[in-house]
């Protein structure tokens, strides 16, 4: 079980907070092939940690329990974020970025998107850049549909591909105890969307009464997801995040969260869990 992580990380570091889709409604398929979504993004205090060190070039070093699941080459979103920001700003500065990969890869928790967003935030500060917020958001959008929401890192409503963002009230969310659980199975977004049945089940209103329309397709790929959801028995709300296979439970009390975490740890020691709060 991963222990609670606080926001921040220091002047030369940034926490890439794990992304959680509190609800995710798939409304249809658009002409460009992407799916039209309605979702509520929230973020855990827990996440990957990105650190900057001096260098004359752009370098990336991977550490942490899930470092072996990533490649530090040019396709890594952290490296892409650094290159795009350097090109946009015109700086000739370099940086060595050290990514402590604590969040599972291909898990529905926005790991790569959150890492890219953290790199943008960190490098604006590290390189002492003056970048207009709208320009930074456009760079984020070029990196992926979830990166703009991760850049802000606060509760946000997303529509379209998930990148048409609008403010969402954080009352009742900030500080909420949350438990993240992954059964140790990577699941690609394309694999899950390919199994979506194409039925529009209606708009997203109150997220608490909402749903994740990708849950059943994901369970078809990884039946264990249903067991994960059942294991969050003390949660007020238990759902899958994104395209899975990670699930989350939101709790009335820390004691309830920690009791579920302990039960899961005893019964399923091979599963990944992280206890945290919503940021």
Question: Does the CA dihedral 70-73-74-80 come out positive or negative?
Answer: positive
Domains, the chain:
13-167 (3.30.230.10), 177-277 (3.30.70.890)
Percent of the chain residues topping a pLDDT of 90 = 95
Known catalytic membership, residue 146: yes
Is there a contact between 182 and 272 (Cβ–Cβ < 8 Å)?
Answer: yes
Q: Distance (Å, rounded) from C-alpha 157 to C-alpha 247? A: 19
Residue range 82-92, pLDDT digits in tens: 999 999 999 99
pLDDT at 10 (0 to 100) = 61
Q: How many CB atoms lie within 10 A of CB 127?
A: 18
Does residue 7 carry a pLDDT above 60?
Answer: no
Catalytic, out of 48, 100, 115, 146: 146
Give the burial class of 154: count Cβ atoms within 10 A of its Cβ; 0-12 exposed, 13-18 middle, 19 or more buried: middle
pTM for this entry: 0.94
Residue range 146-160, pLDDT digits in tens: 999 999 999 999 999
Does residue 5 carry a pLDDT above 50?
Answer: no
In DSSP terms, 238 is beta-bridged to 249
Residue range 76-131, pLDDT digits in tens: 999 999 999 999 999 999 999 999 999 999 999 999 999 999 999 999 999 999 99
Known catalytic membership, residue 69: no
Catalytic, out of 19, 80, 101, 176: 19
The full DSSP string for 49-83 is EEEEE--SSEEEEEESTTGGGS--STTSHHHHHHH
pLDDT at 11 (0 to 100) = 80
Beta strands 35-53; 95-100: pairing state: antiparallel
Taking CA atoms, 161 is separated from 17, 35, 164, 249, in Å, by: 20, 6, 7, 25
- What is the DSSP secondary structure assignment for residue 34, as one 8-state letter? P
Does residue 1 carry a pLDDT above 70?
Answer: no
Ordered alpha helix ranges (H), the chain:
77-89, 111-126, 133-143, 147-152, 189-193, 215-221, 224-231, 254-267
């Amino acid at each position: 079980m991963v222990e609670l992580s606080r926001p921040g990380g220091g002047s030369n570091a940034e926490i890439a907070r794990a992304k959680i889709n509190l609800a995710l409604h798939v409304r249809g398929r658009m002409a460009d092939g992407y799916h039209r979504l309605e979702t509520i993004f929230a973020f855990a205090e827990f996440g990957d940690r990105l650190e900057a060190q001096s260098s004359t070039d752009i370098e990336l070093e991977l550490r942490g329990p899930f470092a072996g699941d990533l490649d530090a080459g040019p396709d890594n979103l952290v490296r892409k974020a650094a290159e795009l920001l350097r090109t946009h700003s015109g700086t000739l500065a370099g940086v060595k970025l050290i990514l402590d990969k604590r969040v599972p890869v291909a898990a529905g928790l926005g790991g790569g998107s959150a890492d890219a967003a953290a790199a943008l935030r960190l490098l604006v500060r590290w390189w002492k850049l003056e970048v207009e917020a709208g320009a930074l958001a456009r760079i984020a959008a070029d990196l992926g549909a979830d990166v703009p929401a991760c850049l802000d890192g606060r509760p946000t409503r997303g529509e379209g591909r998930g990148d048409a963002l609008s403010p969402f009230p954080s009352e009742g969310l900030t500080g909420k105890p949350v438990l993240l659980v992954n059964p140790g199975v990577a699941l690609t977004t394309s694999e899950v969307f390919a199994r979506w049945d194409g039925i529009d089940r209606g708009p997203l209103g109150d997220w608490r009464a909402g749903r994740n329309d990708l849950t059943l397709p994901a369970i078809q790929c990884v039946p264990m997801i249903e067991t994960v959801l059942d294991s969050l028995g003390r949660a007020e709300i238990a759902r899958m995040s994104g395209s899975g296979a990670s699930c989350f439970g939101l709790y009335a009390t820390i004691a309830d969260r920690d009791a579920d975490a302990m039960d899961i740890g005893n019964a399923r020691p091979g599963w990944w869990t992280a206890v945290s709060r919503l940021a």
